[in-house]
Amino acid sequence: MKKVIAVAAVTVLSSFVFRLQAAPAEIYLVRHAEKVKSANKDPELSACGLAQAQAMAVLIPATLTSIYHSGYQRTQQTAEQIRLNQPTASVKAYDARDLAALAKAIQQQNSPVLVVGHSNTTPELIHLLSQLTPPQIGEQDYGVVYQLKQSEQGYQLLSFAISQPAICQAKTI
């Protein structure tokens, strides 16, 4: 009987350790860069947005294996600009209506990934992945890279903001 309990305990512990090792040590999340002001439900990035996406790419030091985007032009274009600094990363679309499935897919990977989302999906995904209180992202908040970094206590949330590119600052003057 003691052997059965010991084997069961080792199996449960091994499964827990495997799950911790399988999850990425770093997960990066960004809201898409600035979009063109338009009545279109799927606008492209503005010139400022393209520059913001390029600046965000510089803030991601890890070598990414996957870059996920929601399929909207603005997230896809943000992902493509970041991928210019991550040539070996694959770019994949995800269903923004099923963030639980995306979180599960991410947790099964063992290398750094990036998710390009929206002001509503990025905080929700941060919470799903880490159980941490997510940041509030406003409609005009662009240029912040969120990093979930694995530690012994679970994930910790860090954030890094870009210096707004000159092309973005020129329009506010």
Q: What per-residue confidence (pLDDT) applies to 1?
A: 52
Q: What per-residue confidence (pLDDT) applies to 25?
A: 94
- What is the Cα–Cα distance from 126 to 87, expressed in whole angstroms? 25
Q: What per-residue confidence (pLDDT) applies to 10?
A: 38
Contact 109, 65 (CB under 8 A): yes
Within 13 Å and on the Cβ side, how many CA atoms surround 125? 34
**Which of these, 27, 3, 14, lies nearest to 107 by C-alpha position?**
27
Q: What per-residue confidence (pLDDT) applies to 20?
A: 47
CATH topology of domain 24-170: Rossmann fold (3.40.50)
Write the CB contacts of 17 (distance below 8 Å, at least 6 apart in sequence). Answer: none
Beta-bridge mates of residue 157: 148
Q: Consecutive 10-residue runs of the chain (173 residues): their mean pLDDT?
A: 44 39 88 96 97 96 94 97 95 97 96 97 98 95 97 94 92 56
Residue type, 12: V
Domain borders along the chain are 24-170
Q: Convert the chain into a string of H (helix), E (strand) and C (coil).
A: CHHHHHHHHHHHHHHHHHHHHHCCCEEEEEECCCECCCCCCCCCECHHHHHHHHHHHHCCCCCCCEEEECCCHHHHHHHHHHHCCCCCCEEEECCCCCHHHHHHHHHCCCCCEEEEECCCHHHHHHHHHHCCCCCCCCCCCCCEEEEEEEECCEEEEEEEECCCCHHHHHCCC
- What is the Cα–Cα distance from 126 to 66, expressed in whole angstroms? 17
Q: pTM score, two decimals?
A: 0.85
